[in-house]
Amino acid sequence: MMRTVFLAFFSVGLVLSTSGCTDFVELNQLAFIIGTAIDYAENGQIEVSQQIVIPSKKEDPSKREGSSSFFVMSAKGKDVFQATQKIQLRMSRKLMANHRMIIAISEEYFKKDDVRKLFDKLIRDPANNLRDTIVMIKGGSAKEFLMLNHPIEPLSTIAVGKELQINGMRSFSSRQFVIETLTKGARPFMPVLQIENVKLSKEHDSPVAELHGFAVLDHHLKVKGILGLPEAPGAIWMSGKGSSQGATIPWNNNKDVVSFRLTRLQRQMTSANGHDPKHMVLTVKAQAYLLENTSQQDMSEVENMMELQKCLNKQIQKELQSTIEKVQQWGPDVFGIGEYLHHNYPYWWKSQRDDWDDKFKRIEVTVKTDIILRSIGVSGAPVK
């Protein structure tokens, strides 16, 4: 009996002693990285900067100027890990990157170094969540971007993530970026930010990171061109990464303009006549809602509505066709047409997949539009 009791207590003690977490880290022992910046450094090194949130600091909105809820720590190294380890040696808490929202890479680094070598740690390290967004900083340093305050959001990185989401620009995560980098039939499409001084009040100017456009990257992650904001939304739509956007087109023989909100953006690829992989048809679909009309025409009349829908489709088709042709001159297939051909014409693709950036230039791509006007707003005739 005594032996049975002894064995029972021994077994319970053994279970309790082996079930504990020996490497458990308390919450107040962690430093949360919200943004990471990569800048070029001399002698084969890179400079890594980490934007770290201060969790215990509570800002008073009335005393916001001059205070921050974050700090930025930087170090140089031969790779991302070595530089980050140098930062860790200066920290009293363990660095945690699982909640990171933005990875910012400077334009200088794209020009002077090989961006591909950055992503081994991104793919290999399980601490990376691959939900963050990779952006390029045009003109300035990526470190400078992390140090910026924002007039509304507590961190510049949070602001950029929200701006892309609110403006209907999705699928720009680092996971998607890595997939497109490793895929032969598609190329990465990256948001570009530029730091500009913005007048926030009569007395106060402040540097703010503004969306400048989107960079078109080749298979080696070199920038082949940057699409500005007039063209970039259309390219995002055709690449399948947009959910909504605005459109303003000329109307009434260019005397007036009309503006729309386009929602439920879709795109569909087919080959011409269903069998010619060298001639692709890219059809974009959307639902349009009229938001502003500067003409004196009554849009509640059926004839005007039909004419407006026809004009909208024609103008959007013209703009998107021009964007396709511009990107084809650069070469990188950011629309994923090569992936469509890979899945639907596998034997033909085997002879075309090498040097696809160059061969994509010779593919004939025709854009078609199928935009349905869903609403003209709550008024038909303009206010007189």
Write the DSSP assignment of 166-217 as a string of letters.
HTTB---BHHHHHHHHH-TT---EEEEEEEEEEE-SSS-EEEEEEEEEEEEE
Q: Which two tokens stand for residue 12?
A: 């319970």
Find residue 97's DSSP bridge partners: none
The backbone region for 208, taken as left when phi is positive above 0, alpha when psi lies in -120 to 50, beta otherwise, is beta
Residue 117, helix vs strand vs coil: helix
Q: What amino acid occupies position 377? A: G
Average of per-residue pLDDT across 201-225:
90
- Rounded CA gap, 125 and 101, in Å? 16
For the chain, counts of helices (H) and of strands (E): 12, 13
Q: How many CB atoms lie within 10 A of CB 43?
A: 6
DSSP state of 58: -
Q: What are the phi and psi torsion angles at 176 (to 5°)?
A: -65, -35
- Rounded CA gap, 338 and 344, in Å? 10
DSSP state of 383: P
Q: What amino acid occupies position 304? A: N
Are the beta carbons of 132 and 99 closer than 8 angstroms?
Answer: no
User: Exposure pattern of 96-125 as b/e (b: 16+ CB <10 Å)?
Assistant: bbeebbbbbbbbbbbeebebeebbeebeee
pLDDT tens-digit profile of 92-144?
A: 899 988 889 999 999 999 999 999 888 888 778 887 888 899 999 998 899 99
pLDDT tens-digit profile of 138-168?
A: 988 999 999 998 888 888 899 998 998 888 8
What does the pLDDT read at residue 27? 76
Q: How many CB atoms lie within 10 A of CB 47?
A: 20
Ordered structural domains, the chain, with CATH: 27-57+64-229 (no CATH), 230-378 (3.30.300.210)
Are the beta carbons of 193 and 210 closer than 8 angstroms?
Answer: yes
Residue 235, helix vs strand vs coil: helix
Q: Which two tokens stand for residue 320?
A: 């998107």
What does the pLDDT read at residue 143? 94
Average of per-residue pLDDT across 331-345:
93
Q: Give 237 or 61, the one with higher predicted confidence.
A: 237
How far from chain centre, in Å, is Cα 314? 28
**Strand ranges (DSSP E) for the chain?**
30-40, 46-53, 70-77, 94-96, 102-106, 133-138, 189-199, 205-217, 223-228, 244-251, 256-272, 276-293, 364-375
pTM for the complete prediction? 0.85
pLDDT interval class at 311 (50, 70, 90):
very high
pLDDT tens-digit profile of 173-188?
A: 888 998 888 888 999 9
